Structure 1
Amino acid sequence: MSRSVPTAFFDVDETLMSAKTMLSFRTWWDTRSGGDTTWLQELLHSPSDRMEKNRAYYRRFAGVPHGLFLAAGHEWYEDHRRGPAPFVVAGLRALRRHRAADHRIVLVSGSHRACLDPIARDLGVDDVLCTELDVDEEGVLTGEIIRPMIGEAKATAVTAVLAESGTPPELCFAYGDHSSDLPLLSMVGTPMVVGEDPVLLSHARDRGWPVLPATAGPPQGSWSLLRTG
């Protein structure tokens, strides 16, 4: 059932979570399985554009049962959140404020559900808009992407959510740390820049957008506080 209430849209990597979740998860996966860990750095430093790098990343999961993939995400998150600085402190505080105000909270990320679903459950998030992966009839990942969630795709997905709920964009909030989040930030009434991306900082100066620090830290409370506010 749709709800016409103020909505807060959060990018995840380096906006809420201190890590780039896709990279952290894959490093965890390869390390646990004893697999090659050098390919990921080679991919990151390749001349390919961001979309092609994403596709190359996901093709490495071809043949993995989808259920195993999702279960591994929960294990990865449990390990990550026990670290000394798993969250972006300002982003997490903002999310808690929106929850306390009974706002709808939506994650909008180029990452995948194996990473994002446990984060969403832990932080009390209402919905997740993310890169969706192709699964064959036997429940196995094909390595291909059904829907990416980068750049303009974020704005398109958010537009659809707001149209369904009937929530005016001017009542909404968005948080992002990277220039690719600009389409998302530009479409809401209250955009919030996290960190020091030069493109976003330039827009923040020109348009008076608030800027939050990207300092990483612990949740600053018991884990139950993340779920109950």
Structure 2
Amino acid sequence: MTTPSEESGPRGRGIAFFDVDETLIGPKSMFSFLEFHFGHGSREPGSYERAVAHLRAAAARGVPRQDVNRLYYRLMAGESVEGLRAAGRKWFSEAARAPGFWHTPVLERLRRHRAGGDLVVLLSGSFFACLDPIAEAAGAHWALGTRPVVRDGLLTGEVLVPMIGATKGVAARAAAAVRDVPLSDCTAYGDHSSDLALLSSVGSPVVVGEDSVLAAHAEAHGWERVTAGSGHPVPASGGEEPRPSRR
């Protein structure tokens, strides 16, 4: 996973925070990767379907989103970090070719932020296998996701704090403090009500898609909204474009 440091990325401008799944990209990276990984590994046939059914059943019972996130990583117990990194690169090379992988309007925003000198930070409940290749292709400076616990190079199945809900807001505030950037000079993009803490923490929140909770906040507070169309894949090496204006 991309690790932030005092020396990484531009200084002196704002920070642009991006949720990943269904905001910057169309699919849910964790499930897309899981299907690929289970289908190309030594798992028994039907393993992916059973795993997804288990996670969906937990969500249907009202298990909190962050706890469902933890259940996902228990599926990775015993997997090696290097094996997952390699699988993630293979997954991305295949998945990113599919129409609609990138949410084109949001990817274009990311490029403009970067070209204008903003630090670009991805925040996601996903993990390094998915986030590293996405961050590299999109041109993000940092990728902060859920961190699996690793011992002797293997995932234990446990995680530290899931990068879900309020944790995204905490991460945004910490990043702004580390970079000495006022939160009023930061922008954030999110598509789900669980991104509310992130969006509420910055000066320029942008709602992506049609989530009813976020739409209500956008209407009440004058937040910007972006319709994230699918369309064809967009190369993640576009030229420099004007920086988005701050509200």
Shared fold (TM-score greater than 0.5)?
Answer: yes
Match in the other structure for 1:25: 33
Task: Name the SS of the counterpart of 1:131 in structure 2.
Answer: coil
Pairwise CA distance, 1:77: 0.6
Give CA deviations for 1:5-34 in whole Å, capped at 9, x if unaligned.
211000000000100000110011111225
Against the structure 1 CA distance between its residues 83 and 153, is the aligned structure 2 distance closer, same or farther, given a 3 Å change threshold? Answer: same
Aligned to 1:40: 51
Count of aligned positions: 226
- Counterpart pick for 1:75 among 90, 97, 102: 90
Query: Displacement, 1:85?
Result: 1.7
Could you say which residue in structure 2 is the equivalent of 1:4? Answer: 12
Query: Which amino acid letter does the alignment assign opposite residue 13 of structure 2?
Result: V
> 2: CA distance between counterparts of 1:182 and 1:53?
18
Paired residues of 1:92 and 1:219 also in contact (CA < 8 A):
no
Alpha-carbon distance, 1:96 to partner: 1.3
Which residue is 1:102 aligned to? 117
Partners of 2:208 and 2:133 in 1: how far apart?
22
Deviation, structure 1 residue 217: 2.5
1:177 is aligned to 191
SS, match of residue 16 in structure 2: strand
Alignment counterpart, residue 152 of structure 1, candidates 154, 166, 172: 166
Moved over 6 A (4+): none
TM-score of the aligned structures, taking structure 1 as reference length: 0.93
Identity among equivalent pairs (%): 43
Distance across 2 between alignment mates of 1:146 and 1:9 = 21
In 1: Cα distance, 2:110 partner to 2:57 partner? 33
Task: Point out where structure 2 has 5 or more consecutive residues left out of the alignment.
Answer: 1-5, 242-247
- Classify 1:76/1:168 alpha carbon distance in 2 versus 1 (closer, same or farther; 3 Å): same
Structure-2-length-normalised TM-score: 0.87
Confirm or deny: 8 A CA contact 2:99 2:233 kept in the other structure: no
Q: Which amino acid in 1 is paired with 2:196?
A: L
- Secondary structure of 1:143's match? strand
Letter in 1 for 2:16: A
Counterpart residue number, 1:61: 76
RMSD, matched Cα = 1.6
Shift of 1:146: 1.6
**Secondary structure of the structure 1 residue equivalent to 2:238:** helix
Aligned mates of 2:129, 2:101 — CA distance in 1:
17
1:50 Cα offset (Å):
1.6
- For residue 209 of structure 1, what is the aligned residue in structure 2? 223
Aligned partner letter, 2:80? P
CA contact (8 A) 2:103 2:229 kept: yes
